[in-house]
Amino acid sequence: MSNVSWGDSFDNLLNRIWYQPEEVFPVDGIPEQRQHALWVPVDYNYYQIATRLKKLKLDACINSTTCLSTTPKVEMVERGASASIYIDNAAYRSFIYKKFHVTPVEMESASVALICLQQRVPFIVIRALSDLAGGGSSDSNEADIFAPLAATNSVKVVIEFIKLLPSKSPKWSPM
């Protein structure tokens, strides 16, 4: 069974996706003088603090019978992406990696990143991935099965990150 209709040509809709910078109006800028951002760097100091979490032990099982095949770990990524689409397509995941050198793709952090950029507030994104964006078995439902485990591990990492923060708030310093 296929989701492709019969006919001479097929449109996979990927040619309708475009990438564009967002308009940003910095809080300390001149009104109506916009800047553009396709990439928003995380705070350098927060990134350095987060590197200290690499050896944090994360949970691998959601119960006594359902465990991940590999042990989850804290990873630092060079570049992540946030979009308004859920990716469950290995070919598209590979394409955006080749085009933009993006490893994780998620749907929530762009809005936080853009507001932090506009307001000059330091930020970092901490995510726990619950699926392989189309890289797993078509028979499995990784996101539904492992989302609770990903959430638990994400909370664990955030709590440990907060414990490492200095008592005085650092100034914004993009990477």
Look at residue 108 and tell me if it is in a domain. yes
Whether the pLDDT of residue 57 is over 90: the answer is: yes
End-to-end CA distance of the chain, in Å? 48
Residue 92 belongs to what domain range?
22-164
Task: Kindly give, in sequence order, each residue whose CB lies less than 8 Å from that of residue 58, ignoring residues fewer than 6 positions away.
Answer: 71, 72, 73, 74, 153, 156, 157
Domain of 75: which CATH number? Answer: 3.40.50.1580
* CA–CA separation, 144 and 140 (whole Å): 9
Per the structure, the count of domains in the chain is 1
Q: How many Cα neighbours within 13 Å face the side chain of 62? A: 14
* Structure confidence at residue 173 (pLDDT): 64
Whether the pLDDT of residue 13 is over 70: the answer is: no
Calculate what percentage of the chain has a pLDDT beyond 70: 78
Look at residue 170 and tell me if it is in a domain. no
* Structure confidence at residue 1 (pLDDT): 42
**Selected residue with higher pLDDT from 158 and 67:** 158
pLDDT band at 103 (very low <50, low <70, confident <90, very high): confident
Look at residue 172 and tell me if it is in a domain. no
| 104-163 tens-digit pLDDT | 888 889 999 999 999 999 999 998 876 555 555 555 556 677 788 889 999 999 999 999
Other Cβ atoms closer than 10 A to 117: 20
Look at residue 135 and tell me if it is in a domain. yes
Look at residue 159 and tell me if it is in a domain. yes
Look at residue 47 and tell me if it is in a domain. yes
**Selected residue with higher pLDDT from 49 and 13:** 49
pTM passes above 0.95: no
* Structure confidence at residue 2 (pLDDT): 45
pLDDT band at 165 (very low <50, low <70, confident <90, very high): very high
* CA–CA separation, 106 and 84 (whole Å): 8
* CA–CA separation, 5 and 128 (whole Å): 36
What integer best gives the mean pLDDT of the chain? 82
Look at residue 15 and tell me if it is in a domain. no
pLDDT band at 7 (very low <50, low <70, confident <90, very high): low
Look at residue 8 and tell me if it is in a domain. no
Q: What is the mean pLDDT of residues 69-78?
A: 89
